[in-house]
Amino acid sequence: MDEHHLSQRLSRVAAYVQPGSRVADIGADHAYLASALVLEKKSDYVVAGEVVKGPYQNAVDEVQAQGLTGQVHVRLADGLAAIGPADRVDTLTIAGMGGSLITQILDSGQDKLAGVKRLILQPNVGEERLRQWLVNHRFQINAEEILAEDGHTYEIIVAEPTIIPIQYDERELVFGPLLIERQGTVFEQKWQEVYQREAVALTQMKAATTPPVDKIRQFEHRLALIKEVIG
Ligand code: SAM
């Protein structure tokens, strides 16, 4: 993969960036996504934020090699500390991390979200928690996608600020309010796998010398929920 050939996962994230956007990609790693957005003429202003020095340096080198230093601004910073008002960022992409880390980045950078009109998030796990954060902070989920690549399943969540309070029920938070409506093969595969994995864990818990009663109840509830959705 490079900026000319994104993975399917990152190219689907890029697909939700509207032409003419001013973007911040947080956790940019090599800045492949940030650079591709400029090369594809989706944006001419992208901040690539990275908190670890090694990937930050990779991003700096990559952007320089591509001659994109005027458009891709690589910054060594923790989360949304990478951006300021002068950047006038309207679109935020955060991909390839756990949902709890994405939630933490959004939560601790709330003061930077005022001008942001679109969040494009790709959690590797922990989607439910992230959706709950979005609801609590008045972001409405306007698009969702699930895809399989290299043996992994990935979800993409696109959310925009709303003044109307949003409510998602438990099923919508767990499975995704739009994904649950559409479902499809990858969705079914993912939840079949989760069901099987958690059913095994439940059997083991029940066989323990001191079975963890609360955890067993949680797992039973979740398994019933999955069965109800995928049949
Ligand atoms: N976004 C790329 C992708 O989707 O392929 C890279 C994903 S990589 C697994 C996650 C990157 O996020 C790492 O380079 C890591 O250093 C960076 N990262 C983790 N926490 C971060 C934070 N709080 N602020 C900025 N970058 C962070």
Instruction: Report CA(118)–ligand 1 centroid distance (Å).
Output: 19
Can you give the C-alpha Rg of the chain in angstroms? 19
Hey, what long-range contacts does 53-57 have (CB within 8 A, 24 or more apart)? Answer: 55/28, 55/29, 55/30
Say if residue 196's pLDDT is above 90: yes
pLDDT band at 3, cuts 50/70/90? confident
Say if residue 231's pLDDT is above 90: no
Number of alpha carbons in the 13 Å side-chain half-sphere of residue 54: 0
3-class secondary-structure state, position 158: strand
Say if residue 143's pLDDT is above 90: yes
User: pLDDT value at position 221?
Assistant: 97
pLDDT in tens, 111-137: 999 999 999 999 999 999 999 999 999
Distance (Å, rounded) from C-alpha 73 to C-alpha 35?
10
Instruction: Report CA(204)–ligand 1 centroid distance (Å).
Output: 35
Q: Which atom of ligand 1 is nearest to the CA of 49?
A: 25
For residue 38, which of 7, 75, 60, 63 has the smallest C-alpha distance?
Answer: 63
Q: What is the pTM of this model?
A: 0.96
Q: Is 109 in the pocket of ligand 1 (CB under 6 A)?
A: no
Instruction: Report CA(27)–ligand 1 centroid distance (Å).
Output: 3
User: pLDDT value at position 2?
Assistant: 83
> Is residue 149 within a helix (H) or strand (E), and if so which, with residue range?
strand 139-149
Instruction: Report CA(13)–ligand 1 centroid distance (Å).
Output: 15
Distance (Å, rounded) from C-alpha 141 to C-alpha 135?
9
Cα 35 to the center of its chain, rounded Å = 19
Q: Is 180 in the pocket of ligand 1 (CB under 6 A)?
A: no
Distance (Å, rounded) from C-alpha 152 to C-alpha 2?
19
